[in-house]
A and B are shown apart, each in its own frame.
Chain A
Amino acid sequence: MAIIVNLDVMMAKRKISLGELAEQVGITQANLSILKTGKAKAVRFSTLEKLCEVLDCQPGDILEYRKEDS
């Protein structure tokens, strides 16, 4: 997929674990893991908003567009 999720980078910067983040955002660890590993097909604005709030960052810090080689 051309959209890269840099959640692990942000989590490392903020020194927050998966469990802590999941709890603060209000989603399950399993769902957060799906998002972190790039398996997610879509992200709700409400989830993104909560992630940005907890991680104190911008959506662009979490999501990145990278052109795929065809």
Chain B
Amino acid sequence: MWTKTRSLMLSRVLTVGAAAAALVLMFFIPRFAEWYEEISVGRGVIGGSIAAPLTVTLFFTTLLFLAVLAALHILLSNISRGSVFTDSNTRCLRFISWACMLAGAAFFVFGLWRFIFMAAGAMAVFFGLIMRVLKNVFAAAVELKQDNDYTI
């Protein structure tokens, strides 16, 4: 039967799986960038080769992705221990929000070479914004919980 514990376990397994996949894919980033340069027909403000800037962007965003997965793992560990509305979890969500914003900024910069990547940047920033709102909700919940815990 599907339980809360199993759902949490699945989330943790998926997080670790995503991290492993990202680590493996990192080795293929330079090759992918070269391949993308060959097939890419898009345009941007800056001309010339896109392999180097794409490699840098993908490495940077993959590192951020790994950091976000680590934060998610901490978050899930805390939740499975029963600590949901805590300052530690709020910090995790804040970190995830900023990481998404940074990834968005990186894609915006690469958008100077290929405009299409600005769409990816906008999506990442929007996701970061959602996470920020979630972080604010968590911060309010932490305060409410503390009030409740200290009401005798």
B146 close to chain A: CB less than 8 A: yes
Interface segment out of the listed A9-17, A34-42, A52-60: A34-42
Interface residues on chain A, number (Cβ under 8 Å): 12
Size range of the chain B interface in the assembly: under 10
**A42 to B149, alpha carbons, bound, how many Å?**
10
The dominant DSSP class at the B interface is: mixed
B150 nearest CB neighbor, chain A only? A41
Give the chain B neighbours of A35 by CB distance below 8 A: 152
A33 nearest CB neighbor, chain B only? B152
Interface string of B107-144 (1 = CB under 8 A from A): 00000000000000000000000000000000000000
B146 nearest CB neighbor, chain A only? A41
Give the chain A neighbours of B150 by CB distance below 8 A: 34, 39-42
What is the CB-to-nearest-CB distance from A42 to chain B, in angstroms, rounded to a whole number? 4
**A34 to B152, alpha carbons, bound, how many Å?**
8
Interface string of A4-39 (1 = CB under 8 A from B): 000000000000000000000001000110110001
Give the chain A neighbours of B146 by CB distance below 8 A: 41
What is the CB-to-nearest-CB distance from A16 to chain B, in angstroms, rounded to a whole number? 17
Residues of A within 8 A of B (CB): 27, 31-32, 34-35, 39-44, 47
With A27-B152, A41-B150, A41-B151 known, 6 other A-B pairs at CB within 8 A are A31-B152, A32-B152, A40-B152, A41-B147, A42-B151, A47-B152
11 A-B pairs whose Cβ atoms sit less than 8 Å apart in the complex: A27-B152, A31-B152, A34-B150, A40-B151, A41-B150, A41-B151, A42-B147, A42-B150, A44-B151, A44-B152, A47-B152
